[in-house]
Amino acid sequence: MTKLRERMIEDLRLRNVAENTIVCYVRNVRQYAEFFGRSPDQLDATHLRKYLLHLIEVKKVPMGTYNQKVAALRFFYRETLGQPAYVEGLCFTRKERKLPVVLSHDEVRRFLAALDTLKHRAILMTCYGAGLRISEALSLNVTDIDSERMLIRVRQSKGRKDRYVALPEVLLRVLREYWKAAKPKDCLFPGRDGVKPLTRQSVVHACHRALKTAGINKNVSPHTLRHSFATHLLEGGADVRTIQVLLGHRNVATTALYTHVSQATIRRTKSPLDRLSETLSAGE
């Protein structure tokens, strides 16, 4: 590890940044340096401008990806290099607002049944049954499953917050079956070394295999199960505030997005044209 990279990591840790964010920021700065084939401390505002234009005009990266890279480079120049002038006026772009992909109840059943290992089924059932992010599910320890109170403790999730979510009976049965077969010690879903968590990429690959087996033609990732959890709760009558707490959203406006996805909510909403039609009919 270079001294420059080590210093950036130290700067991020001093600001209590989550480990996943540290990995993301370091990777984005490394990619920036690789684009020019030079150390990033030898690149100035002119290089930065050229790189960002390349991302937008040539690579056509999604706006969320672009903003992620901007955040990493702003931190690097401001905090690690002490050159805030290089990123002065550098703004985030407005992200496209797209509705999340959601699976139907039947598609969730088919998808979970198609998973090829008990471990992958337990992980992805946890994402759906408790509404967890994949990073949260993979970070669970055995002691985070509280079968007496039927709760799951989610430690230091996004925003450095702990929270509790409900542990469904069906999920508890699957987790017990998995525990008897795998005997995990600390980390609930360890990788090959038995210590560190399973990688996100291995779960993504399992997702793709299950989708093919189940014949589901949707762009689905582990996060889709979290979207489906929230949407199905809303369709079942749960209020937005409760769903916000379960998902760990800081802002209720983020959770309100699911009201645009819920087909049941859409169908229950009466158009003003229907009311106008009733008035017109009464006046005939």
Q: Which residues are known catalytic residues? A: 133, 158, 223, 226, 249, 258
DSSP string, the chain: --HHHHHHHHHHHHTT--HHHHHHHHHHHHHHHHHHTS-GGG--HHHHHHHHHHIIIII---HHHHHHHHHHHHHIIIIIS--GGGGTT--PPPPP--PPP---HHHHHHHHHH-SSHHHHHHHHHHHHH---HHHHHT-BGGGEETTTTEEEEEEETTTEEEEEE--HHHHHHHHHHHHHH--SSBSSB-TTSSSBPPHHHHHHHHHHHHHHHT--S---HHHHHHHHHHHHHHTT--HHHHHHHHT-SSHHHHGGGGGT-HHHHHHSPPHHHHHHHHHHHH-
